[in-house]
Structure 1
């Protein structure tokens, strides 16, 4: 074993005792599978990095609803739903479970008073597409 410090997020040093340093760039957490392990890893990475903002894959139209996740009565499973007003069958939804990495990231940001936003193509653009293109 070398004299290098332990990797961040290993639990060997309490988060409160770490000295926060500005990251060299954005921290990208490319999680594609939902599960308790992924959710824990995202929570640990956010605690270790203490970012200034959290960006989540999802429709920006949902930004106004993010604060609802801080309500103690809001418990997963929950989902965002977008649909075309003139054709409700043309719809998309973004589900969140307690073990969703996105849910963990949203809740972490809200609990730490860190701005959280969705970043993706607006649902309005996706729903405006027709079979003709």
Structure 2
């Protein structure tokens, strides 16, 4: 995974500059996608660094725009996992950890206050 990604700055008189400004490959006369807005460039950068958690939303958006939902999932070929399933699993775990309404132990479900640490307690001889 590349750690740094550079923006393309067109250099006069090069083939890549002609492609950048026209959106057409002069050799084949086919259309070429050229990202020009900062958001489009950010999505491309995120796709190259798809493993970084902060890039998840941009990668998800880029894959949806490219109609490549096949790269969102749990398979070995997938770039990212679907977020909805992860959120549902976290919600299930949180629901499972909630109290069933019965008091827990002697404190009635309340946690005992933490004992204040003092120098005597910390350095107490045993």
Higher strand proportion (structure 1 or 2): 1
**TM-score grouping bracket, smaller chain normalisation:** under 0.3
Bigger CA radius of gyration: 2
Length-normalised TM-score, structure 2: 0.26
Length-normalised TM-score, structure 1 = 0.25
Higher RCO, 1 or 2 (CA under 8 Å, sep at least 6)? 1
Structure holding more helix per residue: 2
